[in-house]
Amino acid sequence: MAKIFIISFLMSALTGTGVYLMLKNDNKKIGVVDAVRLFDQYNMKKELEDKAKVKLQMLGKQMDSVENLLNMAKAVKNDDGIKKMSYAYSYVRSYVENEYKQSNKEINEQVWKRLNSAIDAYGKSKGLHLIIGANGMGSVLFNDDYYDLTSEAIKYVNKKYEEGN
Amino acid sequence: MKKVISLYGSLLVILFFIGCKKSLKGHEYVGFIKEEKNGLKKTVAIDGWEYTIQYRPIEYILLQENDDKGREKRKQELKGTACFAIKIKRADNSVSPLRYNLESRDEYDKRLNYFLNGAAKDIKLLYNQTDTLYPIAYEFENNYNLTPEETMLVGFTLPGKEDAPKEDMQLSFSDQIFKNGIIKVKIKKDDLNNIPNLID
């Protein structure tokens, strides 16, 4: 009788511990955020791109003008003109390409600098223990809507950006 | 009937107290304006930097300037404007922003020149979600590196004939020196309406 009591007591204790651990794991909240969507839909990114676009479009037009001059020189078969304009065109083209690269690099850095701290604040406000960033490169193979917090995170980071703290 | 009258009376008293604005003395008033939880001062922290934007109501400016003789004239000048102070500092107060990670004297001069002459064009105010306002007054408080923070004072003319702002305001500053992107803060209409009266 005593043995049966001890065995049933041990089994109840084991079951209880199992249930407790399961519940404890359930409380470890995890979310998945699509990093590409988050980046693209961050208001500051759009605004910085719009600002940069004005300068880059102007440079693009200057490059087109030099290309037109080169084409004209080619049309009239002016060898000296072709030589000068080819040099000018390759110089302007590499300058414009560098400006594009530099502008993209600066925007990326500034946006991620802000997004990292905003996502950190979002995770804390939601009581999350882990946020997985899906980036379309296979880091997350599948997640259902239950774990997908992308829309909510976008809303949160944009509100934080627009209103300050 | 008596019950209805007493209930109605209590309701009126409650509404009266809700509708009443606080009245505060000078130093309490300044404390209220500077208290972040009252929504008139906001701090944006970015990667070791802190940008603090303080809305400065007219009475607050007059108290800070402490010039009794010129008070009325100054009050008239400030009517119809919205003024702000934008402070920039390192979160750890280690060094003045103008001197942070400097590589040359030229870089210091470039930064100083930007804050003296160029920063105003990167500041704007969105009023009532419709009107974009640009500064009519700008001043960089050059503290000659005596404190580890830099302050810009900026003022805008309000649209219409309002003496003081009554609608939502969103101040934005696009920092070109420290590459922290665009800093925005919103001062809400409700917080503006909650500004207490000043007891002279």
pLDDT band at A143 (very low <50, low <70, confident <90, very high): confident
- B42·A164 Cβ contact <8 A: yes
Minimal Cβ distance to A110: which of B181, B184, B185: B181
The residue to which tokens 């306002």 are assigned: B133
Q: Please answer yes or no on whether B186 and A163 come within 8 Å at the CB atom.
A: yes
Provide the shortest C-alpha distance from residue B140 to chain A (in Å): 22
Strands A130-134 and B182-187: unpaired
User: What pLDDT sits at residue A18?
Assistant: 55
CA atoms within 13 A on the CB side of A46: 9
B181–A113 C-beta distance less than 8 A: yes
Rounded distance between C-alpha atoms, residue B123 and residue B185, angstroms: 12
Q: Which residues of chain B have pLDDT under 50?
A: none
The whole-number average pLDDT for the span A57-63 is 93
- pLDDT number for residue A24: 54
Closest CA to B153 of B70, B55, B49: B55
What whole-number distance in Å separates Cα of residue B146 and Cα of residue B149? 9
Which of chain B's residues have a Cβ under 8 Å away from the Cβ of A164?
A: 42-44, 53, 184-186
Contact by Cβ (8 Å): B60, B29: yes
Average pLDDT along chain A: 87
Q: Which residue of B has its CA nearest to A121?
A: B45
Report in angstroms the alpha-carbon separations of B12 from B22, B23, B75, B193.
18, 21, 35, 21
Residue with tokens 């997004």: A115
Strand partners, B196: none
Structure tokens at A12: 């109840």
| Residue B134, Ramachandran bin (φ over 0: left; ψ between -120 and 50: alpha; else beta) | beta
* pLDDT for position B2: 66
Residues of B with a Cβ under 8 Å from any A Cβ are 36, 42-47, 53, 170, 174, 179-182, 184-186
Q: Alpha helix locations (H) across B66-163?
A: 71-78, 105-113
Domains of chain B: 23-198 (2.60.40.3340)
* C-alpha gyration radius of chain B: 20
- CA nearest to B179, candidates B69, B109, B101: B101
Q: What are the residue ranges spanned by the domains of chain A?
A: 2-163
Q: Please, are residues B138 and B152 in contact by the beta-carbon 8 Å criterion?
A: yes
Amino acid identity of A150? T
The confidence score (pLDDT) of residue A145 equals: 81
CA-nearest of B45, B27, B47 to B87 is B45
**Which residue, A153, A121, A144, A129, is CA-closest to A27?**
A129
Q: State the pLDDT at residue B13.
A: 56
Residues in Cβ contact with B20 at an 8 Å cutoff, skipping those fewer than 6 apart: none
What whole-number distance in Å separates Cα of residue B179 and Cα of residue A111? 10
CB contact at 8 A, B123 and B135: yes
Q: What confidence score (pLDDT) does residue B48 get? A: 93
Does A23 have pLDDT greater than 60?
no
Q: Which residues of A touch B46 (CB under 8 A)?
A: 113-114, 117
CA pair distance A93, B199, nearest whole angstrom? 66
Q: What percent of chain A has pLDDT over 90?
A: 68
Residue B7: the pLDDT is 66
Pick the residue of B121, B179, B184 with the most A CBs within 10 A to test the interface with A by mutation. Answer: B184
* Assigned CATH for A2-163: 3.30.910.20
Alpha carbon of B161: minimum distance to chain A alpha carbons (Å): 26
C-alpha span between B40 and B37 (Å, rounded) = 8
Q: What is the DSSP string of B26-68?
A: HHHHHHHHH-GGGTSEEEEEETTEEEEEEEE-HHHHHHHHT-S
pLDDT value, residue B20: 63
- Rounded to the nearest angstrom, the minimum Cα separation between A62 and chain B is 25
Q: Tell me which chain A residue has its CA closest to the CA of residue B126.
A: A162
ipTM reported for the complex, 2 dp = 0.83
Opening angle at CA B62, ends B61 and B64, nearest 5: 65
What pLDDT, in 10s, does the model give residues A63-121? 999 999 999 999 998 899 999 999 999 999 999 999 999 999 999 999 999 999 999 99
